[in-house]
Structure formats: C-alpha cells, structure tokens
Structure 1
Amino acid sequence: MASISLLFIVLNVLSFLRFVVGQSERKFTLELSRGRWAPDGVEREMILVNGQYPPPNLEIWEDDDVVVEVFNGLEEPSSIHFHGIEMRNTPWSDGAPGLSQRPIPSGHNFTYRWKATQHGSYWYHSHSGEQVEDGLYGALTIHPRAGTLKPFSLISESSAGVEALERAEREAQPVLMSDHRHVTGREVWEFTQRASCFPPRVMAVSYGADGYYPAMPANILEGCHATDALREVIEVQGHSDSGGDENWVALHFIGAFHGISSMVSIDEHPMWVFAVDGGYITPQLVHAIPIMNGERFSVFIKADKAGDFAIRIAATMDPQILDGYATLRVSTPGEQSSGDSSAPYIDAAGHPTSGDVVIFDPNTSKPFPPSPIPPVADKTFIMYMGNSVPAYLWELNVEPLLPLQLERETPLLLEPRPPSHHIFETTNDTWVDLVFITHTSPNPPHPIHKHGVKMHLLGLGYGSWTWASVEEAARDIPGSFNLVDPPVKDSFTSLKVGINDRQHTAWLAVRYHVNNPGAWLLHCHVLEHLNGGMQVVLLDGVDAWPEMPEEYRRLAEGSG
C-alpha cells in the first residue's frame, strides 16, 4: 500500500458548528483529539475536532464578535490560527505561537476573541508542528454586512440575475482541498530530517540537495496508486434553462494544501471568479484556477443542466502525477442527474485540454472596489530566500528561523526584541515594501503569507534585483510593475527558478499599509518549508503598540 494517497477533496454542505447568538456574538467550541479516520478509504491516525474530520465550518457575519474556545485534548501543544483574518485591535488572538501566545499545553484550553471586520472565504488551522498535515484545519465563512458594494452587476446586467448572484453567495459552499498522506505529519518530518532531503531522489536532483536517499523508507513516495474511496459529492439544485438569469451556484475553493500546488476546474462549467483571499475582484470568466497553499477563490457557476460533473484537482508540483476528484451533482426541475461522464478542461497534470481553455491569473486580478496605493513606500525591506544545508532547512532571509526558536521564548507581542535578520520593525500609518529575492537555484515557488493585513502585488520577474527600492526599479523596468491597481491578497507566490538551467534568480515585490499594530508572522505556507525555518517576524506599528488584556497576558506568560 502506498503511503501517499491521491490528492483528495473534502466538500461539506454547510454543517456549521452550533453557536450561541446574543447581540451579534458567535461562540464556538473546538475540542481537539486524536483518532483513527479514513477520509480516502485508508485508515490512519488523524486529529479530530469535536470528534469529526473534516472539522466543522465556522459561519460568521461581518461585525460579529467572535469567541472560539479551544480545548487541547492532544498529547502535544497546539494552537489555532485564523488564516487571512486581520485581527484588528486583537493581535493576541492571531494564534501564532511565539508571537501572540504560547502554545496551548496538553489538557488546557485557550479562548480566542476577535471582531469580524472583514467578509469572504477564510479558513482556520493549527500553527503548531505538523498538525495541519494530520487534519487540523477547517473552513471559515464571513457573510458581508448589508450594503456592501459588490461586483455582481459586472456578471449579470439584469436585476433578477444580480439577486440570484446575491442568493448564491449567501448559500455558497466551502470546498476544502488537501493533500493527504497515509502517514502522520510527525513521521514525514522525521523521515525528512533523517534523509536530509524531501522528497527523495527527484528533489535531490532538482533542488541540488545532498540527502541520503536510503534513509527514506521506500513506501513514502514510491508506488503510489489510486485509492478505492468514494468521491465526495456536492449536490446543488439548478434551474431549467428557460432564458432566465437565475441559475447560479457559488463555491469557495480553499487550498488547505500543506505541500503541493494545484490546478482546479469543474467539467463543462466555466467559472466566474469574483473574490480572491476573501476580497472582491473585477470578475473574470475562466475554466481553471491555479491554487496554492492557503489561497481562497470564490466562484459562480451556472447550474442550468442536470448531471454529474467532475471537479478536478491536479497537483502541479509533485514528483508523481497526483490528481483528485469530486462530483458536482446538479438537479434541475423535472430532471435528475444522468451520471454520464463529463468533458474535462484539464488533464491529470493540470494542463489545458485545448487551446480554448482559459486559466485564471491571480497576478492580474483587480480589487473591487479599487484599492489605491501611494506612488512611493516609506520603507523597503529586501529579503533573500531559498533552501539551506541540510536540505530540509529553508530561509526567508539569510538564515532559517525554526518555529521552536520562537515558541520557547516570551511571545514577541509581550516582549519585542531588537531588529535582526528575522525581526523587522515598522511605524504606524506608513507604507512598507517587501522585496523577496530567490537567490538559490533551483528553487520551487513559495506562497508567502502575511498575518495581520493584506499586501498589494507590485511586480515579479526573473533576473537579479540590483535596486535599493521599488521606485528605482520601476524607473528602469516600468513594464514589470503595477503601481496603479495591483492585486490585493494575504499571500503571493514567488516564481520557480532553475527551469531548464536558464533562470537562476527571481524577485517578488509587495507593498502593505501599516495600520494594524502587532507582532505578525510572514512565512512560506508550504508546511515543510515553514517547519524548516522559512519565516520572519514583522513588528508593525511599534509606536502604537497595543496593550494586551490581563487574561491573555497571563496565558502568554504561561502563568494562567
């Protein structure tokens, strides 16, 4: 039996946690435990939340006060990070051990309190060890407040169509996608360290690693084969095609991957992408979407014909071709699903099946409404990232910062430390440019995720970065930058380098507004890279540092 399954997809009709409503307060309880589970037909040890996998979905409304009480029934420390949530004025609830809290000890509880100041699709997951790989992640949906400006009239010109889109968004179903192995995350990390290189053989060649291949058990990444699990099915009620414009369905795709990147499509159903990472964009009609670790894409599809249609997820950066399937089952009045096979837009490797297939480009998306930026930043930080030696170590700037290095000390929100290779300071109400230079080759793409506030993508490209600022670079290569209406997301992905021995360096430039003081993590969202040290800390707004409430101070100090 192979120790890695096909990539699989988890789909839930909104089976939300029970919550208590009282003056816009949403209260949730998450009880963590370990148990045996077989999401793809092969039983293994996993982390369960409230006795189930996948964990329950959290449904919230913008402006709600949110209370999430976590009971850690695991044998090891844990934490919960609410991915993409800005935690405005409550940075102590961000869930990043070593920055906002100490890990929750085994047998203890921790209460996260925050206000929902955003809307859109998000997710929550552990920020401790390898627990994401063991299943500690779930969907989080925040419904927009009344009167929110939306781009739906750019999809449908009729009032009935816009109303149908509004209804579809309210009923949108989250689609969690994950790469799932048949061994625990701890086992994978131990194999990785022992072999000094992961995955074996292929990675040793492509990433210039010096790992010892025989140290890796043969069944970890060899001999993979399809499992016999049943496909997940998402059922929707469509409308017969009678010339109307009311047959819309919305889905929130969530890239809960820990290791791979993917290409996603729904057979015979073009998708209107209307939001990325929780924020509305000028809608784009596409057939497939590349989705990296941590990203979220919200889409509308027309449900005007009955049938079963494959939702395809193809891994695009793995040593073996891995793909996963779910089924979109559409029933329309008087018609039931035919069960016939459907025509794909992508193949098992994520490649378009024809020249007519349109692939979404997140680097060209336009925020809706526009989100202007100043022409020049107040400060620039340039970081050199890549892999290190031994090959399981990774760096976001000069040298690795291992998670245990952070977790063993007093949280930075309580006790800020001086700037270093790993710690950067900013002042409030300033604009900061971050330039990431991939300086070791070969190197894979890195989905760089920022906690606290979203970033604007200014540009990316191949070649050496020789400038002191984006302003200087934009004068020399203006075609490589967008300083007018750049994409806005909480993560952006660097370019892969070392392709065909031609491109050995690459750069990525982003800008963000310091308007949410706190200690925030900036890291690669590939789990092995994060655990290998690919992270730094941004102490934002040190001149307006928030005062931690006593309840959290005791927990952060380990005394309460």
Structure 2
Amino acid sequence: MRENRILCSLIIFVLFAVNEVTADNPYRFFTWKVTYGVIYPLGVKQQAILINGQFPGPQIDAVTNDNLIINVYNYLKEPFLISWNGLQQRRNSWQDGVYGTTCAIPPLRNFTYVLQAKDQIGSYFYFPSTAFHKAAGAFGGIRIWSRPGIPVPFAPPAGDFTVLAGDWFKTNHYILRRVLESGRNLPSPDGLLINGRGWNGYTFNVNPGKTYRFRISNVGLSASINFRIQGHVMKLVEVEGSHTLQNTYSSLDIHLGQSYSVLVTADQPPKDYYVVVSSRFTSPILTTTAVLHYSNSWQKVSGPVPGGPTTEIAWSLQQARSIRWNLTASGPRPNPQGSYHYGLIKTSRTIILANSAPIINGKQRFAVNSVSFVQADTPLKLADYFKIPGVFNLNSIPTTPTWGNAYLQTSVMGSNFREYVEIVFQNWEDTVQSWHIDGYSFFVVGMDGGQWTPASRARYNLRDTVARCTTQVYPKAWTAIYMALDNVGMWNVRSESWARQYLGQQFYLRVYTSSTSFRDELPIPRNALLCGRARGRHTRPL
C-alpha cells in the first residue's frame, strides 16, 4: 500500500510539475539512488559516492527542450546536492542545484528536480556541489541532441562516446575537506582518471573506417588537462553547446569545467592505440591512458605513451584563439548561429573581476575583488523570495578590484534583466584560472597577457568567437566576455578549481526584474525544500 501511495503522489507531482515547465515537449524520468561505495581507481581502496551503484554516474540523454524529471534519493549520512554544469535552467534558477539557490537534500530524503533543456544542444556534465563531494564522485555526462529536422553540420557518427576526465586524489573527500577548513590548500593530486578508471582501465571500441564523436569534459578538481589519441587527428565540432569551425587538432587543452566535442575517424592500421590525458601547467606532469580498440585488432597497446604539451602557455593561448563559431551552422534552432551579432550590441557596463589568494584570520582563503565568499545559513534565492532580512546584502561585492585587505562576506552582485555586460577576468596569480557562470552562455571576445585596459578592446573578436559557459584565464593575463543578462534568477559565478571555490572564489549574480510574469521567471517549485531561516514557510498550494 505504501508503495502505491508513493507512486500516486509522484504521478500527481509530475502532472503539476510538467505544467510548470513545458507540457507540450517530451519529458524523461530518472530515479537516482545516491549511496556510498568502495572503488579502487588508483589501486587504493576509497569511499566514493555512487549513483545507482555507478562511478561515474548514469548518462543523461535528452533532446532540445525535453523536460527532465530527476528524482534523487539521498542515502548518505549528510546532505547532498547536484548541480548541472552548462544547463542554463532558463527562468528557473530554483533548480540550479547550488547552495545559493537550493537546499541540500537531507539524509534519507529525496528531492525531484524538474529541469528543461530549453533551447540547448551540446555536451555537459552534472556534479555534486556541496561539502566537497565532488572529490568522491557522483558526476556524470549530459548529452543534449538536436531536434529532428534541425540541421547538424556533420554527418551522424557511427558512435558517441562520453569522456569524463580529470585529476583525482587517493585521500577521501572528507579528509580533503578538513584540510581546507583548517586553512591549508590541497596537496597535488595523485593521478588522473578517464571515466573513473586509471591506466588503460577503459576501452573505446571502434570499427575501421568509421567516424566517432568524443565528448570530453574536465571534471577534475585542480588541473587543466590535455587530451589526445595516438596516431589520430581530432576535428573539433562543438564546445559547450556551440557548433565550431571544424579545425583539426592533434591534441586539445581542456580546462577545469570545460567540455568539447571532437570527431575521430578510425583510419589507421588496425591495432590498439593510446587515448592519453595529461595534466597541464603542473609539476610533476600527471598522465593516464585509455585504449582505442579497433574491432579487427589483435595488437595491444605498447611502447611509450605519446607526449603532449606540458607547461607552454603561449601554445595553449594560441589554440584557444583558434576556436571559432561556425556562423552558418544551426544551433538548437534552425536559424544560423551567426544571425546573432553579439559584437554589434553596445554594452551597458563593464565588470572587472580579479582573483586573489589572501590569508584571512590566519587561514588560506581565495577571493574575488578582495571578497571571500562564505555560505549563508539560508539559500540566497529563498531569502530573496521570502524577503528574509540579514541573509545577504545586495551589491556586497564591488564591480571592480579594490586591492584592499580581503574580507569574508556572503557576496551578491546586483544586475538588471536584459542588461548586456562586458566582464573582464583579471588574473595576477601564477596559475591558470577557470571561471564558470551558471545560467548563461557568453562570448569569449578576447584574452591576452598583462593588464586589461580599455585599449584592449581593439584586439577583441567581435565576429565569430565561440559562445560557452566556462573560460580559462592564463597566468598574469586577462579574459574578456560579453554576456546578455536574459535569464532572471540568482546565478553562481565561480572558480572551477574546487579548492578555490570552496574557500571563497565565487559569488552570486542576482539578475532582477520587477515583473512577476512567468514569462520572465518560473514560480517557486511546489516541492522546494525549505531550510535555514526559510524553514516552516510555504511554497505554493498543490
């Protein structure tokens, strides 16, 4: 009887939930059970976080505009939360899955996310966003396919592989968390993984003469990576939802949080080949391999692993500048991507964000414009909706660097719906930075060494730069983006270096409109979890 009641309740919830998204688009159901488990990815027994017993977690496949109903059961001993790297959550930051917007799922409870892949295509991933759980797993790939009838600028490949690669620690996540909370930075990672496996632990099976799509995401905690396949060239076709000019590369730099799609043709003599991932800008250089296996191969991989770039900044910068938008290709809609002339729109203001690594109260912290973010006791979106005072102060982070003493603050930057802004990421540190903005895709108009000045705009690409959601900033350098604030909500702007994010290199961008129309922002979900000072309040009647 109890199971029948639960099923009926879920059906009723879904009927109402779908009406809040888009009922005339297909919807897909997922049920995830989040548990602890034991893994040995680097030969050492570790406690991991599994989804449905899997590490990495299950793949999400969807088509543009699909509704995704994801029921997550938390069987951990602590609260748990999942975020969706690259899914824009149009009008719906309630579902973004970071603590600034969403209460974590308590132990032995469940929460049903109601998402929509609105006007999106491409390659993304999901990950656990709180309590440094990302160091324990619970990440997985997201593939959003084009709708039937929407042209795709390449022939359908014979297969489609997800590659989740990144650095990994042998130390359990809760110990790493304690290291950070004690005021120290993390040690160097112990190795690299490809789809949760170490050296030659994963195999990609191909047929000779066929072409395959590889969707590669850097899901690591601290290191940029380089991806390459022995003896094969890669044709870049998509970056985080943007179809690109189809340049060929022998290897690709992929920075923290970034996703790329390449086409690879199995046109070499039949044998097994190394698929190589190595770290960039680290000492020592870490390397791991998987296997590209031809179906008619009888020869195993052998010999030295093909080398790649190591610490060369100029090489990486030049490659980044070579990645361009395919102006004639369709995106999620049939009109060409180039019909949006981002470079002809006048920006309303310039925001300059400078990262730093201050010591505050004797402990290592990280900051943006001298403000090191601390979590509030209540999700900021809920505090904003219920008008709960004292949770955060609007504009509690400056829009340009102050270079003053760093301090702790629950930092929220105010902005207005339909602004068109220029954001400059300025990096005076010796490490590569990787920045992500939830809820948005932006145009990376320029990047170069040294100090950004207004004169730097003369070097902007205002015609065919790629639109994406995560961008790198090289050491002692800057990166500039243009972004249309067309998505109302509370959006996380963060470092993708997970220690830096955890210790304060993030803030929230509040995109505000006085309109109460559901065309601008969806209402609070009926099933929203309420925690902190929002506990005991009411969402909406069912």
Q: Shared fold by TM > 0.5?
A: yes
Query: Number of aligned pairs?
Result: 470
Residue 271 of structure 1 deviates from its aligned partner by: 0.1
Taking a change above 3 Å as real, the CA distance of residues 346 and 391 of structure 1, as seen in their structure-2 partners, is farther
Superimposed CA distance per residue, residues 339-381 of structure 1 (whole angstroms, 9 cap, x where no aligned partner): 25378653484779xxxx9998233322233242134201222
Taking a change above 3 Å as real, the CA distance of residues 413 and 537 of structure 1, as seen in their structure-2 partners, is farther
Instruction: Look up the equivalent residue of 1:267 and give its one-letter code.
Output: Q
Residue 410 of structure 1 deviates from its aligned partner by: 4.3
- Which residue of structure 2 lines up, in the alignment, with residue 215 of structure 1? none
- Which residue of structure 2 lines up, in the alignment, with residue 372 of structure 1? 341
Residue 193 of structure 1 deviates from its aligned partner by: 4.3
Question: Could you tell me how far apart the structure 1 residues matched to 2:510 and 2:85 are?
Answer: 18
- Within-5 A mapping of 1:97-496: 97-98=99-100, 100-117=101-118, 118-152=120-154, 165-168=155-158, 171-194=159-182, 196-199=184-187, 230-239=200-209, 247-305=210-268, 306-331=270-295, 335-341=296-302, 345-347=306-308, 349=310, 361-368=319-326, 369-370=337-338, 371-373=340-342, 374-389=344-359, 390=362, 392-403=364-375, 407=379, 410-412=382-384, 415=387, 417-421=393-397, 422-439=411-428, 442-466=429-453, 473=454, 476-496=455-475
After the TM superposition, which of the residue ranges 278-287 and 316-325 deviates more from structure 2?
316-325
TM-score normalised by length of structure 2: 0.80
Percent identity among equivalent residues? 21
SS where residue 223 of structure 2 aligns? coil
Question: Which residue, 519, 531, 543 being the options, matches 2:514?
Answer: 543
Taking a change above 3 Å as real, the CA distance of residues 348 and 185 of structure 1, as seen in their structure-2 partners, is farther
Superimposed CA distance per residue, residues 296-329 of structure 1 (whole angstroms, 9 cap, x where no aligned partner): 1101011133211101111113332211100011
Instruction: Look up the equivalent residue of 1:251 and give its one-letter code.
Output: F
After the TM superposition, which of the residue ranges 188-197 and 288-297 deviates more from structure 2?
188-197
Question: Could you tell me how far apart the structure 2 residues matched to 1:228 and 1:151 are?
Answer: 34
Instruction: Look up the equivalent residue of 2:367 and give its one-letter code.
Output: E
Taking a change above 3 Å as real, the CA distance of residues 102 and 507 of structure 1, as seen in their structure-2 partners, is same
Residue 495 of structure 1 deviates from its aligned partner by: 1.4
Taking a change above 3 Å as real, the CA distance of residues 403 and 273 of structure 1, as seen in their structure-2 partners, is farther
Taking a change above 3 Å as real, the CA distance of residues 350 and 28 of structure 1, as seen in their structure-2 partners, is farther
Taking a change above 3 Å as real, the CA distance of residues 326 and 22 of structure 1, as seen in their structure-2 partners, is farther
Instruction: Look up the equivalent residue of 1:49 and give its one-letter code.
Output: I
Superimposed CA distance per residue, residues 144-198 of structure 1 (whole angstroms, 9 cap, x where no aligned partner): 112323332xxxxxxxxxxxx3144xx3110111212111122123224446344
CA RMSD of aligned residues (A): 2.9
Taking a change above 3 Å as real, the CA distance of residues 432 and 351 of structure 1, as seen in their structure-2 partners, is closer
TM-score normalised by length of structure 1: 0.77
Contact 1:288-1:359 within 8 A present in 2 as well: no
Instruction: Look up the equivalent residue of 2:475 and give its one-letter code.
Output: K
SS where residue 257 of structure 1 aligns? coil
Contact 1:197-1:391 within 8 A present in 2 as well: no
Unaligned regions of 5+ residues in structure 1, if any? 1-20, 153-164, 201-219, 240-246, 467-472, 498-505
Residue 409 of structure 1 deviates from its aligned partner by: 8.9
Contact 2:78-2:107 within 8 A present in 1 as well: yes
SS where residue 172 of structure 1 aligns? strand
Superimposed CA distance per residue, residues 31-69 of structure 1 (whole angstroms, 9 cap, x where no aligned partner): 111121112332111111112212111111222111011
Contact 1:461-1:480 within 8 A present in 2 as well: no
- Which residue of structure 2 lines up, in the alignment, with residue 521 of structure 1? 492
Question: Could you tell me how far apart the structure 2 residues matched to 1:363 and 1:228 are?
Answer: 32
Question: Could you tell me how far apart the structure 2 residues matched to 1:351 and 1:462 are?
Answer: 14
Question: Could you tell me how far apart the structure 1 residues matched to 2:522 and 2:135 are?
Answer: 34
After the TM superposition, which of the residue ranges 143-152 and 400-409 deviates more from structure 2?
400-409
Residue 253 of structure 1 deviates from its aligned partner by: 0.6
- Which residue of structure 1 lines up, in the alignment, with residue 329 of structure 2? none
Superimposed CA distance per residue, residues 218-260 of structure 1 (whole angstroms, 9 cap, x where no aligned partner): xx879xxxx9865211112233xxxxxxx21111011111111
Contact 1:433-1:510 within 8 A present in 2 as well: yes
Question: Could you tell me how far apart the structure 2 residues matched to 1:125 and 1:81 are?
Answer: 6
Taking a change above 3 Å as real, the CA distance of residues 287 and 391 of structure 1, as seen in their structure-2 partners, is farther
